[in-house]
Amino acid sequence: MEEKYAFAEIEEKWRRRWEQDGLYHVHDFSERPKYYCLEMFPYPSGHLHMGHVRNYAIGDVIARFKTMRGYDVLHPMGWDAFGLPAENAAIKHGVPPARWTWDNIRTMRGQLKLLGVSYDWRREFATCHPGYYRWTQWLFLQLYHRGLAYKAKAPVNWCPSCATVLANEQVVAGACERCKTAVERRELEQWFFRITAYAERLLRDLNKLGGWPEKVKVMQENWIGRSEGAEISFPIVGTDEQIKVFTTRPDTLGGVTYMAIAPEHPLCGRVAAPEYRAAVDAFVERARRLSELERTAGEHEKEGVFTGAYCLNPLNGEAVPIFVANYVLMEYGTGCVMGVPAHDQRDFEYARKYGLPVRVVIQPEGEPLDGETMAEAYTGPGHLVNTGEFNGLPNVQAMAEITAYLESRGAARHQVQYRLRDWLISRQRYWGAPIPIVYCADCGTVPVPESALPVLLPEDVAFKPTGSSPLLDLPEFVNTVCPRCGRPARRETDTMDTFMCSSWYYFRFTSPREENAPWDRDRVDRWLPVDQYIGGVEHAVLHLLYSRFFTKFLYDIGLVGIEEPFTNLLTQGMVLKDGAKMSKSKGNVVSPEDILARYGADTTRLFVLFATPPERDLEWSDQGVEGCYRFLQRVWRLVTSVLTEIRDVPAVPARDLVGVNRSMRRLTHQTVKKVTVDIETRFNFNTAISATMELVNGMYQFRDRVSAVDRDPAVMREAVEKLLLLLAPFAPFLTEELWARLGHTESIHKEPWPEYDPELLVEDQVEIVVQINGRVRSRMTLPANISAAEMREAVLEQPRIRELVAGKEIQKIIPVPGKLVNIVIR
RNA sequence: GCCGAAGUGGCGGAACUGGCAGACGCACCGGACUCAAAAUCCGGCGGGCUAACCACCCGUGUGGGUUCGACUCCCACCUUCGGCACCA
């Protein structure tokens, strides 16, 4: 009686065994080359979803493959454990966030173990543990001491639903990235990290990231948004003040016909002439009341009012009317723009609406532009006109010359402007790492000394449904003494953005229990940078940008020796069901628990890897899972059925085999090559798996269609062993079980990756295609090593071809050795 | 609007550097086994034409081009998805 593939018992057995033996423990120092394989660690939301399964299955194949390839592979897992859902659960169900979080971690850890991912669990940590966040706070202090963490009053993004502020990166199309609520603009005093100080390096070093997808680099490039131009000063008539503008087009300065300032600009209040004051105030009031969403979503009708004031164009001395206009953003540049209607589409629209002059200063080749009649702004190249001594210059040259001219008179300077803003890291929430700062009536803002870290987050707290942080009402937390003067002082009650916690976790995995420093330098030097990082593309400008910033900062202060944390990045696609992202609200969620219970880990892993290449979206298919399950059963039946036949033979067939034994060997070795290349060079696990399926199909034929006398058991043994080794990274449990049944006493996961013999790959006969005028007309089998000339001859002798060519003039014959011959006739 | 990616059977997807389009899997159809079913095994499976799985024709989003030969390269366009969105 055939024994069934009992995945549940097999998987449980090996899970225990591996854990007992510490099979996946990796040591920090050895002679072998290192490989750091990291998947983005999850937020412990409660249960693993299919996106996690896919992410971790991909990482595990890479880690296991590299291990078999002879590397020491660091493959750790942990928990991004601070965050809002824990707090919401506390408010809703009365469960303390810490308990909720730790419970979730326990569940999800169990699920990851079920999946059979080869983590070194000794290195696990959670960012909400004081042993970790102590160092998060410590890193905050390092930034603070170097002037890169600062508190400032600024207009910030406020999410009313989450009851906290958000960083720019966390606002998507005017709405909260987490909960999709429209964010509001508020003027608050908040903590920032000066990521803008690294803008240039973050941009420049994108070039070093050859192993990153172009898509992600472009997103970061756009996010940083570098533009080069000039800052130009326009003196305001009748005052000592100046209006500064940033422009990328100093060449169009002569075409300025008005000046526009943002409604939030402090100048609005000062500059307006008395008789215009009321109108200006009313306009400013109205513009400010618009929500961020209304102001930014979609193109808006451009509106503005005249202030009654004028400034002087530093190039030609003309008086230019000053407007307040709703399309000018306070946050970018200086909050003021010079209006050049002829050469900027926005200015053009505004000028037409308010009847302002349109003066052409850049004249393209061909038909001349006319400010009176043009239908849209001209933004292309040309020669200068209406610009005095600069007339006739090509505009690109004029940019530099006009800037230089003004610079010499103190009216301008060359300027590089970024779209990137500083990273707002304060959160008005409880479940995060407290910001280690104390406010003293006498000493002001005082950092907590490093020796006093961690500033512990109190866990015995009461939650209010308002969402306001319970820390505010906790005198024993808030009230403290000033570290500097010892007098009573008040603690900062805001906590840090959780993206801060995840900006350095990949260093911590190298030495997770280190108590005297955030990490052990030797270990960081040994393991970093991460060789392969795997996760969702949604972090393109969040986590991935922040982590790059952190790494550069840490490099600058000498704590790490690398400037970029992630050498290669793989952004995996989403898991879809019925064409849409799985979500509770759509009711199209497939739970990993169910699938694991029904089919086991090996099948689950195999399916998410086989369905599509990693970077593409994956459409869930129950039937596809079924198919993978069938395949593994097929492997099981095949191997168990030949076990007695091959048990006592070595897997080293003779070299001079012929016929079926030779073909079987060829297929085996071809498969080894294909799988190796598919994994190694492009992570195409789907085609790697399909190659093993073909091998299995071939092995079935070898078993069933070749009589036992003609079959060399060593050939079968070799095929079985190589098959199991090739499948080991994908289906670690099944292959381990069958490996043991073959009589091996060491784990298959300690075996080296199989080799192939190039000599065995060569076919002696190949089928070639015969084309006439590029269309397939015939096929024939020829010796593989035949020369081009011989091929020509052989083809022309073929009766069918002779027939087709008869009476035609042969113009040309193109032989492609080993593939085809194309005959061109007329 | 700008930037980026992708369009291949009924479906997921293959096709290395320009050389047999549709590997592998799913679904479906037929057969074997079975009292029957499931499972398993074997075979078929882009469309048209046809008595014919002889041959021929069409076929990788659309239209053009380069080439002996194009899913692959070039030009133009269409569609879908993702990112940014008054950034001066």
A362 sits in which H/E element? strand A362-363
Which nucleotide lies closest to A250 by the C1' atom and the CA atom? Answer: B88
Q: Verify that A367 and A435 share a domain, yes or no.
A: no
Q: Which residue has 């308990």 as its token pair?
A: A99
Instruction: Tell me: pLDDT of A823 over 70.
Output: yes
Which nucleotide lies closest to A344 by the C1' atom and the CA atom? Answer: B88
Strand B bases near protein CB (under 7 Å) are 3-5, 11-15, 19-21, 23-27, 39-42, 56-57, 68-70, 82-88
Residues 477-536 of A with CB under 7 A from strand B: none
Q: Verify that A368 and A314 share a domain, yes or no.
A: yes
The pLDDT confidence band at residue A1, using thresholds 50, 70 and 90, is: very low
- Buried/exposed A319-354: b ≥16 CB within 10 Å, e otherwise: ebbbbbbbbbebebbbbbbbbbbbbbebbbbbbeeb
Residues 753-782 of A with CB under 7 A from strand B: 767, 769, 771, 773-777, 779
Residues 789-818 of A with CB under 7 A from strand B: 812, 814, 816
Given this model, what pLDDT does residue A665 score? 93
Q: Verify that A308 and A263 share a domain, yes or no.
A: yes
Instruction: Tell me: pLDDT of A291 over 60.
Output: no
pLDDT in tens, A22-44: 999 999 999 999 999 999 999 99
Residues 220-249 of A with CB under 7 A from strand B: 222-223, 225, 227, 229, 245-249
Number of folded domains in chain A? Answer: 5
Q: Verify that A75 and A190 share a domain, yes or no.
A: no
- Residue A298 beta carbon within 7 A of nucleic strand B: yes
Q: What is the mean pLDDT of residues A712-739?
A: 96
Q: What is the mean pLDDT of residues A248-265?
A: 94
| CATH code of residue A780 | 3.10.20.590
Q: Is residue A217 part of a domain?
A: no
Which nucleotide lies closest to A704 by the C1' atom and the CA atom? Answer: B41
The percentage of residues in chain A with a pLDDT greater than 90, rounded to a whole number, is 73
Query: DSSP 3-state helix, strand, coil percentages of chain A (rounded to 5)?
Result: 45, 20, 35
The percentage of residues in chain A with a pLDDT greater than 70, rounded to a whole number, is 98
Q: What is the mean pLDDT of residues A196-206?
A: 94
The SS3 of residue A245 is strand
pLDDT in tens, A470-513: 999 899 999 999 999 999 999 999 999 999 999 999 999 999 99
Choosing from A761, A786, A802, the residue where a domain stops is: A761
Which nucleotide lies closest to A823 by the C1' atom and the CA atom? Answer: B68
Using alpha carbons, select from A633, A575, A582, A578 the residue that is nearest to residue A603.
A633
Cβ–Cβ contacts within 10 Å for residue A793, how many? 12
Q: Verify that A255 and A400 share a domain, yes or no.
A: yes
Give yes or no for a contact between A99 and A459, defined as CB atoms under 8 angstroms apart: no
Choosing from A356, A390, A417, the residue where a domain stops is: A417
| Amino acid A525 CA to nucleotide B69 C1' distance, rounded Å | 54
What's the whole-number average pLDDT of chain A?
92
Contacts of A151 (CB under 8 A, 6+ apart): A189, A190, A191, A192, A445
Given this model, what pLDDT does residue A672 score? 96
Q: Is residue A209 part of a domain?
A: no
Q: Verify that A662 and A752 share a domain, yes or no.
A: yes
| Amino acid A513 CA to nucleotide B52 C1' distance, rounded Å | 77
pLDDT in tens, A528-542: 999 999 999 989 999
Q: Verify that A34 and A102 share a domain, yes or no.
A: yes
Q: What is the mean pLDDT of residues A586-595?
A: 89
The pLDDT confidence band at residue A175, using thresholds 50, 70 and 90, is: confident
Which nucleotide lies closest to A420 by the C1' atom and the CA atom? Answer: B87
Given this model, what pLDDT does residue A295 score? 56
Q: Is residue A729 part of a domain?
A: yes
pLDDT in tens, A446-466: 999 999 999 999 998 888 877
- Residue A96 beta carbon within 7 A of nucleic strand B: no
The SS3 of residue A176 is strand
Instruction: Tell me: pLDDT of A696 over 50.
Output: yes
Q: What is the mean pLDDT of residues A599-619?
A: 94
Which nucleotide lies closest to A168 by the C1' atom and the CA atom? Answer: B84
Which nucleotide lies closest to A682 by the C1' atom and the CA atom? Answer: B16
Give yes or no for a contact between A745 and A650, defined as CB atoms under 8 angstroms apart: no
Q: Are strands A575-577 and A618-619 parallel, antiparallel or unpaired?
A: parallel
Name all contacts of A743-752 with Cβ < 8 Å and 24+ positions apart.
A743/A647, A747/A18, A747/A21, A747/A23, A748/A724, A749/A18, A749/A23, A749/A64, A749/A67, A749/A68, A749/A118, A750/A23, A751/A68, A751/A725, A752/A68, A752/A69, A752/A70
Distance CA A20, CA A28 (A): 20
Q: Verify that A397 and A473 share a domain, yes or no.
A: no
- Residue A694 beta carbon within 7 A of nucleic strand B: yes
| CATH code of residue A741 | 1.10.730.10
Q: Verify that A371 and A282 share a domain, yes or no.
A: yes
| Amino acid A521 CA to nucleotide B64 C1' distance, rounded Å | 62
| Amino acid A715 CA to nucleotide B21 C1' distance, rounded Å | 34
Q: Which residues partner with A491 through β-bridges?
A: A438
Length of chain A: 826
The pLDDT confidence band at residue A260, using thresholds 50, 70 and 90, is: very high
Q: Is residue A335 part of a domain?
A: yes
Q: Is residue A208 part of a domain?
A: no
Q: Verify that A273 and A392 share a domain, yes or no.
A: yes
Q: Verify that A737 and A648 share a domain, yes or no.
A: yes
Instruction: Tell me: pLDDT of A297 over 80.
Output: no
pLDDT in tens, A358-406: 999 999 887 788 989 998 899 888 999 999 999 999 999 999 999 999 9
Instruction: Tell me: pLDDT of A290 over 70.
Output: no
Distance CA A166, CA A594 (A): 36
Q: Is residue A340 part of a domain?
A: yes
Give yes or no for a contact between A309 and A203, defined as CB atoms under 8 angstroms apart: no
pLDDT in tens, A146-156: 999 999 998 88
Choosing from A723, A740, A761, the residue where a domain stops is: A761
Q: Is A594 exposed, middle or buried, given 0-12, 13-18 or 19+ CB atoms closer than 10 A?
A: exposed
Which nucleotide lies closest to A297 by the C1' atom and the CA atom? Answer: B85
Distance CA A260, CA A350 (A): 10
Given this model, what pLDDT does residue A780 score? 82
Chain centroid to Cα A684, Å, comes to: 19
Q: Is residue A204 part of a domain?
A: no
Q: Cis before residue A458, ω within 30 degrees of 0?
A: no
| Cα-based distances in Å from A178 to A167, A292, A821 | 12, 17, 60
Give the dihedral of Cα atoms A475, A477, A480, A484; nearest 10 deg: -150
- Among all protein residues, pick the one whose CA is nearest to the C1' atom of B1: A299
Instruction: Tell me: pLDDT of A76 over 70.
Output: yes
The pLDDT confidence band at residue A142, using thresholds 50, 70 and 90, is: very high
Which nucleotide lies closest to A249 by the C1' atom and the CA atom? Answer: B88
| Amino acid A795 CA to nucleotide B28 C1' distance, rounded Å | 40
Instruction: Tell me: pLDDT of A173 over 90.
Output: no
CA atoms within 13 Å, Cβ hemisphere of A26 = 32
pLDDT in tens, A748-763: 999 999 999 999 988 8
CA atoms within 13 Å, Cβ hemisphere of A705 = 9
Token representation of residue A165: 């502020």
Instruction: Tell me: pLDDT of A200 over 90.
Output: yes
| Amino acid A782 CA to nucleotide B55 C1' distance, rounded Å | 24
Token representation of residue A480: 């403290």
Can you give the residue range of the structural domain that contains A87? 7-124+502-536+555-594
Cβ–Cβ contacts within 10 Å for residue A468, how many? 16
Give yes or no for a contact between A223 and A216, defined as CB atoms under 8 angstroms apart: no
CA atoms within 13 Å, Cβ hemisphere of A96 = 9
Q: What's the Rg (C-alpha) of chain A?
A: 34
- Among all protein residues, pick the one whose CA is nearest to the C1' atom of B86: A327
| Amino acid A2 CA to nucleotide B35 C1' distance, rounded Å | 24
Q: Which residues partner with A230 through β-bridges?
A: A247, A414
Residues 310-349 of A with CB under 7 A from strand B: 326-335, 337-338, 344, 346
Q: Verify that A382 and A529 share a domain, yes or no.
A: no
Q: Is residue A56 part of a domain?
A: yes
pLDDT in tens, A544-560: 999 999 999 999 999 99
Residue type, A799: P
